Amino acid sequence: MSGRSNSPPEPESLAEQFYVYEVRTGDGEVRYYGEPLADRDTVISALVPRFRSRGYRVSLTRDTGEFVLVATERSPGVDGVPWTNIALLLATAGTTLFAGARWYGVDPVASPTRVLEAWPFAASVLFVLAVHEFGHYALSRLHGVDVSLPYFIPLPNLIGTLGAVIRVRERVPSRRALFDFGVAGPLAGLGATIAVTAVGVSLPPVSVAAGAGPAVELGYPPLLQGVAALLGEPIAYPTDRRVNPVVVAGWVGAFVTFLNLLPVGQLDGGHVVRAVAGERTAQIQYLVPVALAGLTTYLVVFEGGRSAGIWGLWAVLALVFTRLRGPAPTDPEPVGAPRTLVAVGTLALGLLCFTPTPVVLS
């Protein structure tokens, strides 16, 4: 192997962390077979910066009983046409149109040609989700972290989607990078949510015949109520009219933001708190499923069980997420006071997106 900066490290340079006895190349990978000289996290933390400086990302795995360092070239940009991302976006556009039609009082099965009338709802939902994910994407690119474009998740539910995600392909280099990545999505999504809500409450309500549309009532969080109050617009109407469905897209943005800011696992809130608190996150995150279980109990006992199923499910999911930490950043340097203040402000804004009864059967 040559010593060029874009060539993989020489096996001898890894000797303090990983004893290499064989190197194989092929299929765009360099595979170093050998024995780690410390635990997995210590080895990876020491070697990631070395491979990163050479233009490679690295992982430690096992192949037929042997330890292998697998190095692949980093590509923070987009290689080729992202057909999977495009297909999922188009599918999600279809499912949000289908779901949105019902918010406009249109039966999408009986009147499939009228589904396109729901384009303002579908466009608003996709806009909020896209802005959130591209907030993550932009800050990842700023820090040179290799991530995918957003993958939208189509689902024939109340809003037509399960959200969107991006995939981080390598270990985040520092706590500051992890913080910026984690906080950028919710803050960008909050901006989009406020904009969409402001447009929605300014649009005329829709007339919905009795029995038409989803048989649910939405609970609007303080953030949406505040936007409506500042503009002097109502956010609730008599039973023969519904708020414009674009407001429902704002509700989607607020609900998604609150859930993402739960400080557990690999949710955005988990990234933010892990970047700020480091290893203390392990203790902090266990408070979340306890709090959600307590909220569920309260709703069952005092509110007739309204929305209890939602928070009961999320109490279980939060408990599962506590086991999905993800790898720690390679550079443990603290994020500093300014980012800590941003973290507190962001989590406080997340609370403005919370309502104890977000969805109630009517």
Find the angle CA(166)-CA(325)-CA(152) to the nearest 5 degrees.
20
Mean pLDDT of 4-33: 88
Pick the CATH number of 11-73 from 2.60.40, 3.90.1070, 2.40.30, 3.40.50: 3.90.1070
pLDDT-derived band at 227 (thresholds 50, 70, 90) equals very high
Q: What is the pLDDT of residues 138-178, one digit of tens each?
A: 999 899 888 899 999 999 999 999 999 999 888 888 999 99
Between the alpha carbon of residue 236 and those of residues 119, 201, 219, 222, 228, the distances in Å are: 22, 10, 10, 14, 10
Domain residue ranges of the chain, discontinuous segments joined by +: 11-73, 83-261
177 φ/ψ angles, rounded to the nearest 5 degrees: -65, -40
Query: How far is residue 134's CA from residue 151's CA, in Å, rounded to a whole number?
Result: 11
Which two three-digit tokens encode residue 296? 């569920």
Q: Is the dihedral of CA 31, 8, 182, 246 positive or negative?
A: negative
Q: What is the pLDDT of residues 312-329, one digit of tens each?
A: 999 999 999 988 876 678
Between the alpha carbon of residue 57 and those of residues 163, 191, 245, 328, the distances in Å are: 28, 33, 44, 15
**Which pLDDT score is estimated for 2?**
39
Mean pLDDT of 35-41: 90
The full DSSP string for 85-125 is: HHHHHHHHHHHHHHHHHHHTT--TTT-GGGGGGGHHHHHHH
> What are the residues whose beta carbons fall under 8 Å from the beta carbon of 233, sequence distance 6 or more?
201, 202
Query: How far is residue 72's CA from residue 61's CA, in Å, rounded to a whole number?
Result: 13
Query: How far is residue 111's CA from residue 102's CA, in Å, rounded to a whole number?
Result: 11
Report the range of poorest mean pLDDT among 136-140, 279-283, 292-296.
279-283
Q: What is the pLDDT of residues 41-79, one digit of tens each?
A: 889 888 988 898 888 889 899 988 899 999 988 876 666
pLDDT-derived band at 102 (thresholds 50, 70, 90) equals very high
- Residue whose tokens read 């949510």: 193
Which two three-digit tokens encode residue 54? 């050479």
**Which pLDDT score is estimated for 331?**
82
**Which pLDDT score is estimated for 3?**
40
% of the chain exceeding 90 in pLDDT: 69
